[in-house]
A and B are shown apart, each in its own frame.
Chain A
Amino acid sequence: MIRFKRMLQLFFAGLLLFFGQASSADDLKEIQARGELRHLGIPYANFVTGAGDGLDVELVRGFASHIGVKYRLVYTDFYSVIRDLLGKDVVRKGNQVSLSGNYPIRGDMIATGFTMLPWREQVLLYSTPTFPSQVLLMARADSPVRPIAGSQNLGRDILETKRLIGDKTLLVMERTCLDPANYGLRNSSVNLRNYTRSTNINEMVPALLGGEVDYTLLDVPDVILDLQKWAGRIKVIGPISEEQNLAAAFPKSSPKLRDAFNAYLVRIQADGSYDRLVQKYYPGIERYFPEFFARIKPRQP
């Protein structure tokens, strides 16, 4: 019986493998054969603005052109984006990640200010980083909490910031870069409030200003925009995370596509196209992450 169960398991495993192969994303050759690159994008900050443009939209459009295929933007959200890429749903248990279910594959790559997180790397192939980021703690301007002074020690600044949260309510968005699990906040005293009304991170600050919570997490690209948008009404308390990298994500079955993207990225970083896109959508980001952009400065002719 055990052997039967064992054999049955192997059968189903093979069947899964078969169907899995059948439902896996296409690699470069297939995409080129198909003639179209499907870009999975989430309206988020200026990466995918929702208006048909954004830093990642232009990046992938250029890549499609680079490999000689048409470009198509497929909108998704942070909860569905990996499932739409892999055709599997992602199940996290602590640091363990598993795939489950079968879903239609809607895209060939993710590029949407997608943070490179360890658990994601278990099921995805990341390109070389395309953008830097960091998660900050935000409060209303009238909050009695005073921002940290900041130091040269990021770890200490993170601890100091986390300590200021106390038991105040903190607005987070799970399965995104603002997932508290990513920053050790889930099992703390922090009163987490998961934002579920939308998957759009841009709505986090209005919720904060609405008095729904005391704090909210926000990544740097959004902070840059919102500090101007809500100047004098919000303030940055301090960092919650280390500096993070955003990158394009590919199925594990698409290494050549990833490699092609990396090559494309190297090329546009070298010829200055990438820099122009950054200046277009995130002017001033270099002042925040000078080291990152120093590494990808275009080659001088």
Chain B
Amino acid sequence: MKLALPRIARHIPPRLPVYVVAAFVVYSLVMLSYSVSSWRQMKRSADSYILADSARRAASVTDLSDMARANAAVHADLSEVHAFLLNRDLGMSMRYGLGASLQAIENRFRQHVKTDPPALADRIVFLAEDGTRLVDTQPDVPLPLLPEATPERPGLLVDAARGLLVTAARVDHKGAPGGTVVTIGSPRFLYRNLITGQDGGGSGNDREVLITAAGQQLANGAASLPIVLLRALQNVPSDRVIRAEFLGRTGVRQVDLDETLLVKTAVPGIPLYLIRLLPKERAYGHITPVGVLAAFAVVLILLFAGAVYLDRMRVLAEQMKADISASQQERQSAEQRNMELAAEIWRREIVEKALAASEERWELAIKGANDGIWDWNPQTGEVHFSERWKSMLGLADNEIANAYQEWESRIHPDDFQRVMHELSSHLDRKTEFYQCEYRIRHKQGHYIWLLDRGQALFDAEGHAVRMAGSHADITERRTAEMQAQERLEQLHAIFELSPDGFVSFDIAGHVSYVNPAFLGMTHLQESEVMGLRELAFSDLLSGLCRTDSRFPGIEEPGRTAQSANRRERLELSGAGQRVLEVGVRSGAGQRVSKILYFHDVTSESEVDRMKSEFLSTAAHELRTPMASIYGYAEVLMAMEFEAEERKTYLGRIFRQAELMVSIINELLDLARIEARRGKDFVFERVDLRVLTHEAVTGFKPPEGRDPPVLDLTRSAVWVTVDRKKMQQAINNVLSNAYKYSPAGGAVEVDLLPGRGESDLSGVRIEVRDFGIGLTPAQIARVCERFFRADASGVIPGTGLGMSIVKEIMEFQHGQVLIASEPGAGARVSLWLPGGRSI
């Protein structure tokens, strides 16, 4: 049997308890639904009971009202009343007998007032048939409105406003009306069988009140309901059980109506309503609250959830069991590893001792090298800095923590990325060693240069577990290097920017450097020159020279001390026919053997040539009149001439002298313009139309020639020029126009818009003549000094006028434009930029 049970248990599905619980929950929920149905039926029964009870209690109010009516009838049937009526029938006078009868009635009434139930008849009145008040227990109080009464049924009136319950009973005396007895009580009487909330028991939400159809509450001695609630009650339907808290939604909040039921029942026979407030607990207390059923349902759900949870826990327990088994296996494995680890520890201790000795030796070596040592654990960030390492940074031993950040935070920002790159490369095993030169902040704020070197140890997985290295202070070396580099850069810049060419040869005699100026002078490429031996270089350079000029070679200049500063002049055939001066210097250092120096003197040569040519030309131009003057003067001194003839000769001398003066003046003008480079120009904003007009009208044409024809129909043209210089230029052009139109013809001056050679818009003063004209070659040279289109010398002139015009126009940013054909006259334009018309 003992063995059978486990076997049976093994065959029970593991989830059977869950299924059982689920079945139980389903069964319970079905039962619960029946319970809810029963709850509803019981609630309806309770409501029916409440309604019936309210109807019964309302009927009791009717009974009390009937009691009040009956009481009035009793008073109307008192013997004293009948005695009075009998005595009255007997003819007794009011003074001598009836008064006593009335007094007896009053006494009886007063007795009834005392003995009648409270509030039933606080006041009793006996009225005669004609309404005369015969007896009144409160004679000083006016009568209220009386109800209608019939001989068969006393009348009843509820005056809610005044709090009166009035009944009236007709007195029947021997089958005839004998007056009316009125009892006046309080509506409190109607509350005798009701729960009033105070004396009658009950609490604020357990009481009954009577209200009229108009919503007035009959006073009952207890606290009245709020008016808002009474108003709300008017709209409450009768004979229904209502949850009173719904009235709270209508704004009735003065009364705590929570958990309160309300029933409104019409009182039969009188226009009143019974309002019944009762706690819900009293009405439905015997019924299991639906909340309990709901809670039970929740319990069932929780039970089901608990079963599922327990099943889940069972599954987890099985898993845990399997895990424990696996864990035990791992533990055995771990114990084996521990033993192996112990052996490894023993082995490592031996190694560490050896390592300690090695480190000691290493420390000694490092101290000898005066380097700082660091030892970094990348996994913990802890770094050991040696005392020397700290002292390099001006730090005492206790002024820095053994932390990676202490080092990292001191690296110069400009070097940081580079250092990190080097470090990462090594930690990523991209480099065998870590080495980097960088700046690090000294305690005093300045930076020192370090040579940082180190190497990391990696574990089997390639992770760095330790890294150690040294710092060497290389500040002095780096400073020297930087100074040398700076000097080198300065020299490089000088050579690069120098207009003179430099070629250096190394100690082996190969070209090791050529600067851009040399390449520009010779139009050679650097690749053609670099590495050439001296001889090859000499041949290459000689090949560039004109045939009448040759490169003397490199060796020759520097052989003697006298030749050290000697410079040779080379004239290159190509490359713009440059003229170069070549000097050579021996190298002072160990790396440079020679340096060739090339200075471009092309311009100086051209100037020298032009000066020579100019002096030759000027001397020639001056010599011609001077020769005439000299000849005529010599003739006049040597010979006697008639006065007329002598005058003629003197006139020739005078004209030649005048020509010489003109040449000299114009030379002076030209020289002044060139020398001052326009600094003596007085620029002002002038109307070119006015200026031209003044120049033309001020011009004196040669004898027998018409003045220039001026066409100035344009409006004002404003330009910025030197007024006098501009007038001088116009005069020179006009003078040429007349000179070179010896056959006559008009000279026209016009002011026109036009574009210069650079296609800029501007204005030009155009002077047209109809003379001999110019060939293109003459036009090209017309502005050269001493150039004259008339080679015959018939046309007088110095050959400097147009040179002056050109200089004037160029200093005013203008141009001289010439258009001419031989024999067709010429058009010379003085073009100026701008010239805005107004």
Contact = CB atoms under 8 A, between A and B. Distances in A.
A235 B97 contact: yes
28 contacts: A136-B97, A146-B91, A147-B92, A147-B96, A148-B96, A149-B93, A150-B94, A150-B96, A157-B96, A224-B100, A227-B97, A227-B100, A228-B83, A228-B104, A231-B79, A231-B86, A232-B82, A232-B86, A232-B90, A235-B87, A235-B97, A236-B87, A238-B93, A238-B96, A239-B96, A283-B107, A284-B104, A288-B99
A113 to B, nearest CB: 16
A141 B103 contact: no
B96 A227 contact: no
B506 interface: no
B781 interface: no
Interface string A137-174: 00001000011111000000100000000000000000
Contacts of A236: 87, 92-93, 96-97, 100
A260 B728 CA distance: 169
Closest 6 pairs (CB-CB, A-B): A284-B103, A231-B83, A150-B93, A236-B97, A232-B86, A150-B95
Contacts of A6: none
A235 B88 CA distance: 10
A141 B85 CA distance: 13
A148 B94 CA distance: 10
B112 to A, nearest CB: 13
Nearest to B101: A227
B interface bracket (residues with beta carbon within 8 Å of A): 20 to 34
Given A149-B93, A283-B110, A287-B106, A232 B87 contact: yes
Nearest to A142: B90
B102 interface: yes
Given A232-B82, A232-B87, 18 more contacts: A146-B91, A147-B91, A150-B93, A150-B94, A150-B95, A150-B96, A223-B97, A224-B100, A227-B101, A228-B101, A231-B83, A235-B91, A238-B96, A283-B106, A284-B107, A287-B100, A287-B102, A288-B99
Interface in B100-149: 100-104, 106-107, 110
Contacts of A235: 87, 90-92, 97
The residue in A136, A223, A236 that gathers the most chain B C-beta atoms within 10 A of its C-beta is: A236
Nearest to B102: A287
B286 to A, nearest CB: 56
A231 B80 contact: yes
B115 to A, nearest CB: 14
A136 B92 CA distance: 12
Nearest to A143: B90
Contacts of A150: 93-96
The residue in B86, B94, B97, B103 that gathers the most chain A C-beta atoms within 10 A of its C-beta is: B97
A83 B127 CA distance: 51
B138 to A, nearest CB: 15
A141 B107 contact: no
A284 B90 contact: no
Contacts of A146: 91
A227 B83 CA distance: 8
A147 B90 contact: yes
Contacts of B80: 228, 231
Contacts of A223: 97, 100
The residue in B80, B83, B93, B94 that gathers the most chain A C-beta atoms within 10 A of its C-beta is: B93
A136 B90 contact: no
Given A231-B83, A232-B86, A224 B92 contact: no
A285 B103 CA distance: 8
Contact of A147 (B83, B93, B104, B110): B93
B97 A147 contact: yes
A218 B474 CA distance: 158
Contacts of A283: 103, 106-107, 110
A136 B96 contact: yes
B111 to A, nearest CB: 9
Contacts of A288: 99-100, 103
Contacts of B103: 224, 283-285, 287-288
The residue in A150, A228, A237 that gathers the most chain B C-beta atoms within 10 A of its C-beta is: A228
